[in-house]
Amino acid sequence: MPLIDLHARNPLKDGRQSARAMQIRRGVQAFLADLGAVTLPEVTLATGRRADIMALHRDGTIWIVEIKSSVEDMKADSKWPDYRAWCDRFFFASLADVPQTVFPDDCGFMLADAHGAEMLRDAPEHKLAAARRKTVTLRFAQTAAQRLRAAELAGVELPGDDA
C-alpha cells in the first residue's frame, strides 16, 4: 500500500466495511468516547489480524470490539478467539436484528446503531502482561500517528485545522 494515494480518497476510510458494519462502528466509537476511551478502527495486530475497533482507556486498559453485522458474519468467523491475547477485555458488537444468542457468553456484548451503543454484557477481564501491554499501546500510538500523517498529506480537514 503506497504511503501517498494520488486518488481523491480519504485515508481514514478503507472502504472494506459494509454500511451495516459502519453503523455499528460509529455507534460503538461514540459509546466508548462517552466512557472516556480513545478508539481506532482496523488496527493490525502483531499477528497480522485486524481488530475492528481497539479502545485505549485513560487507565491504560485496552479493549477490542469485534463487529458482526449478521448471523452469517458471526458463523463465518473462526479467528475471533485470537484477539483475546491482545486486550484486557473482548467484546462483540452488533445491530438489534442480529440475535444475541449467536454470540458466546464468555465475551462482552454491545448493541449498537449509528447513533450509539449500550453494553448488554460486560466482558470478563484478562489483564495483559506488561510487555504485551506496551507492545499493543505502542502499536495503537503508531497507527494513530501514521493515519494522522496520511490524512494531512491527503489534505483531509481535521478537527482543529481552522485554528
Integer CA distances (angstroms), 88 to 55, 95, 132, 138, in order: 10, 24, 11, 15
Cell of 23: 453503523
Q: Return phi, psi of residue 94, to 5°.
A: -155, 180
Please report the pLDDT score of residue 118 as a whole number: 98
pLDDT means per 10 residues in the chain (163 residues)? 46 68 97 98 94 97 97 92 96 97 96 97 97 96 94 80 59
**How far is residue 45's CA from residue 33's CA, in Å, rounded to a whole number?**
22
**How far is residue 77's CA from residue 138's CA, in Å, rounded to a whole number?**
27
Q: Kindly report each contact of residues 145-148 with a partner whose C-beta sits within 8 Å and lies 24 or more positions away, as own/partner.
A: 147/11, 147/12, 147/40
Please report the pLDDT score of residue 1 as a whole number: 39
Q: Where are the chain's structural domains?
A: 19-154
Please report the pLDDT score of residue 2 as a whole number: 43
pTM here is 0.86
Integer CA distances (angstroms), 135 to 5, 64, 110, 123, 161, in order: 28, 15, 26, 22, 31
